[in-house]
Structure 1
Amino acid sequence: MEKLIFLILFIALTSHGESWPQFRGPTGQGHIEAADLPLNWSGNKGVTWEQKIAGKAWSSPICVNDQIFLTNAVLNQGNLILELISVDFITGEINWKKKLFNYSKQPRIHKKNSYASPTPFYENGFVFVHFGNLGTACVSFNGELIWNKKLNYLPVHGSGASPVIAEDLLLLSTDGSVDPCLVALNKKTGDIKWKAIRDSKAKKNFSFCTPLVIKVRGETQIISPASDYVFAYDLNGNQLWKFNYPNGYSVVPRPVFNQGIIYVSSGYDSPVLYAIRCGGRGDITQKNLVWKTRKAAPRNSSVVVVEGLLFMAADNGVVSCLDAQTGELYWIERVAGSCSPSLIHANGQIFLCDETGKTFIFEAKKRYRLLAQNDLGERMLASPIIYKNSLLLRTENTLWRIDS
């Protein structure tokens, strides 16, 4: 039944076209259909266009109706400006920039983070952006500000979790140093509808994980990993269940749902990947564990499941292929350098970017086969996206459109 529900959800999410409306694509789990994807490129080969972006941000772009949206952070004479940028997919030209928040001081963040790391979310003509406690906003497709709000919480190392829409709610993970919680805003006004306080006593409260909304036997569940536990909530903010991963904190990888199983990583310091049977009530730690592995588990990169195979990239570039149902290891290979971007899949091919600007393409099969390796020569922490058979890559200073 869960497989059928997931298939229906996937069809519904992809039926509006080839759009990439949120972090990790149409389903939020790294999948999209594409027919003729590029395999080989470099800084001067296979590049349809490149657009320089002044500023620094590690958010991934999204793309809808031939318009690319990406958040950005610019320092101008000591002022921190947080903005949303629209880029034309066809030409690569900047359509507009919308300044959303302005600060005279720069708050402390981790050296690997930016002030604009969460990826936007698009729905029905509106773009929702989030900069942690520095501001959240809704902007129209044409750049008109609909609303903006600021949430009062204390992040550690800055922000990282991307916004997610579920019916009339805008979901935001606000796992700071005190009172960590999942917050739901009214997506039309930005007003707070509810806060779900984390039911845990973690030693380190802070995490950066983007929630995933799923259906289990007809019931909508918000899967929200945090420090020490992954939680499931209903649309009213009531906790349905929780699962403990001891001492896990600074959780980054977005969860994946496949055939009734949720896959989550416990984050720092020593990550463990857990496969959890979704369902039940209360603390399901003892009865719902399917399998777990510590070997080459990711701290930052989100996994992808393809036809019963789970692929994951550890922070040091070691990639593993496991049986998604049993955890059996089929292969493990050092593929890339240091990895933060998440894996994406299209038509039997997996794309993995590392922090040096290289992209590795390999087959989504039980045996490892590298198809191509490409280098743009510029630092990259943002995850790649696919739109209309093009690959869109955001490096430290540039947005690239790559084609066959």
Structure 2
Amino acid sequence: MHARPCVQTACLLLILSTSHAASPWPQFRGPAGDGIVLDQNAPLKFGEKENLVWKSELPGKAWSSPVIADGLVWATTAIEVFPNEEERLDLLRAAGIEEKKFKQLAVAKAIQLKLFALDLQSGRQLAGIDLTEIATPDPIHSLNSYASPTPVIDGDQIYCHFGTYGTFCVNRTSREILWQRRLPLDHSVGPGSSPLIDGDRLILIQDGTERQYVTALDKNSGETIWETDRPEMDAPTGDQKKAYCTPIKITDRLGREQLICMGSQWMVAYEPATGNEIWKVRHGKGFSVVPRPVYSDGVVYFSTGFGKPQLWAVKVDGSGDVTNTHVQWTVMKGIPAKPSPILHNGLIYVMEDNGIASCFEAESGDEVWKKRIGGKYSASPLLVGDRIYLGSHEGTVTVISTGRDSEVLAENQLDGQIMASPAVVDDSLILRTADAIYRFK
């Protein structure tokens, strides 16, 4: 007699649970933050006129990756007011920059930070949300942008982080800014660290030149829950203390939850609830670290940043300073300073900044293969099924096969520069260039 209402209730609950399903691509490097997608497909060959569903141009300049949920593609951007050459030089001098660094830096007279929403099916722009305007922003590296950190989607909210220029919580339905914070920081060459959601906490790595720390904000209010300074560093200037890494969250074999937060000279694991340090390892003089770490089977793998990038494998079950006890292996050459690694089926793949791809045994660090792909790279690689997608500054996306006998499968050319890491949803590849966002299927 009551069967039908029960069935109806079950169906309603199923609909509600489906409508609030986890975001298909909620953060930098995807659902697990590791750049791996095994349950979907992506086209092998594509281009401006091949397998293109849509191409949508966006104003401004941004290297943040798109994030996707509920049929919408979200992307941040920075619209710059450009100075002429005389104004540019005056702005750099006013910022206290040494003249020998003028060529490698860019600066804007002002910037407008925005969040865009695009329809996943058509690419049509559905919203443009003004977040803030910044007068006389700091200079940045000419290869960076003012909107390089990737936003993160959590439930009904999207969190947009621009380093020193502000952190914003936006309701995805009403498009309202629920809260905003500004945590001043001297990035030296612009912002880069993307945020991480952990429960009710928004985790931010704040490694500037003058101060280096990690903080957790209440994701509902923006208020500070905790902040923890980084370990002491041995460096002549703050420029060699800064970093731009994005944290990961793991649970070790002892049941300890850990926030793995890579920084200059030190890799550190913190307690998520308190910010207390669990363990740390001194990895040397590496600085300006960009690649996001990857984790599997009790070991975290990470690049050590600029200087002479190395690849380290460190066991995560220690406490205190584990530099002399928990380092499993290191690879000293052929390691990227910017693209993050891929770890899959016992192999770790890296794409060096100057166009050389390598594969190593995850257990030992032994080299499996090395091959020249060509081009310059900042975007992190993406693994879809048994293929790896590599997007270059020159707009070339090279597809190689995974495994010990990897080979180049395809080379695809787009019109714009690729600095943002790609995404995959609904068996489609979502790519951002300097000028547009693409959907290929």
Global fold match (TM > 0.5): yes
From the superposition, tell whether residues 353 and 105 of structure 1 become closer, same or farther in structure 2 (CA, over 3 Å): same
Q: How does 1:107-256 map to 2 (within 5 A)?
A: 107-142=138-173, 143-203=175-235, 204-217=240-253, 218-235=255-272, 236-256=274-294
Deviation readout 1:114-158 (Å, 9 max, x if unpaired) = 000000101111101100010000001121111111002222211
TM-score normalised according to structure 1 size:
0.94
From the superposition, tell whether residues 298 and 205 of structure 1 become closer, same or farther in structure 2 (CA, over 3 Å): same
Alpha-carbon distance, 1:35 to partner: 3.6
From the superposition, tell whether residues 247 and 358 of structure 1 become closer, same or farther in structure 2 (CA, over 3 Å): same
Q: Letter of the 1:191 partner, please give it.
A: E
Pick one of 339, 343, 353 that aligns with 1:305: 343
Give me the whole-angstrom Cα distance separating, in 2, the residues matched to 1:193 and 1:36.
40
Alpha-carbon distance, 1:44 to partner: 1.5
SS at match of 1:133: helix
Give me the whole-angstrom Cα distance separating, in 2, the residues matched to 1:133 and 1:374.
36
SS at match of 2:339: coil
Give me the whole-angstrom Cα distance separating, in 2, the residues matched to 1:249 and 1:329.
25
Q: Letter of the 1:207 partner, please give it.
A: A
Deviation readout 1:169-211 (Å, 9 max, x if unpaired) = 1011110111200111111011111111001224121000000
Give 5+ residue unaligned stretches, structure 1.
1-14
Give me the whole-angstrom Cα distance separating, in 1, the residues matched to 2:287 and 2:429.
32
SS at match of 1:43: coil
Q: Answer yes or no: is 1:19 the counterpart of 2:29.
A: no
Task: Please name the residue that 2:437 is paired with.
Answer: 399
Q: Answer yes or no: is 1:30 the counterpart of 2:35.
A: yes
Alignment size in residue pairs: 389
Alpha-carbon distance, 1:33 to partner: 2.9
Q: Letter of the 1:68 partner, please give it.
A: V
Pick one of 90, 98, 104 that aligns with 2:129: 98
Alpha-carbon distance, 1:76 to partner: 4.7
TM-score normalised according to structure 2 size:
0.86
Q: Answer yes or no: is 1:322 the counterpart of 2:354.
A: no
Contact kept, 8 Å, 1:83 with 1:99, in 2: the verdict is yes
Give me the whole-angstrom Cα distance separating, in 1, the residues matched to 2:37 and 2:194.
19
Task: Please name the residue that 1:9 is paired with.
Answer: none
From the superposition, tell whether residues 265 and 36 of structure 1 become closer, same or farther in structure 2 (CA, over 3 Å): closer
Give me the whole-angstrom Cα distance separating, in 1, the residues matched to 2:310 and 2:138.
31
Contact kept, 8 Å, 1:386 with 1:392, in 2: the verdict is yes
Contact kept, 8 Å, 2:288 with 2:306, in 1: the verdict is yes
Give me the whole-angstrom Cα distance separating, in 2, the residues matched to 1:151 and 1:35.
38
Pick one of 390, 405, 408 that aligns with 1:370: 408
SS at match of 1:159: coil
Contact kept, 8 Å, 2:43 with 2:428, in 1: the verdict is yes
Alpha-carbon distance, 1:64 to partner: 0.8
Contact kept, 8 Å, 1:321 with 1:332, in 2: the verdict is yes
Q: Answer yes or no: is 1:44 the counterpart of 2:49.
A: yes
Alpha-carbon distance, 1:90 to partner: 0.4
Contact kept, 8 Å, 2:398 with 2:410, in 1: the verdict is yes
Deviation readout 1:268-292 (Å, 9 max, x if unpaired) = 1110110111111111011111111
Give me the whole-angstrom Cα distance separating, in 1, the residues matched to 2:133 and 2:23.
34
Q: How does 1:281-296 map to 2 (within 5 A)?
A: 281-296=319-334
Contact kept, 8 Å, 1:34 with 1:388, in 2: the verdict is no
Alpha-carbon distance, 1:106 to partner: 2.7
Task: Please name the residue that 2:312 is paired with.
Answer: 274
Alpha-carbon distance, 1:18 to partner: 6.9
Deviation readout 1:74-126 (Å, 9 max, x if unpaired) = 02585310011111100101110111110122321111110000001011111
Q: Letter of the 2:41 partner, please give it.
A: D
Q: Percent identity?
A: 33
Contact kept, 8 Å, 1:84 with 1:99, in 2: the verdict is yes
Q: Letter of the 1:148 partner, please give it.
A: Q
Q: Which has the higher helix share?
A: 2
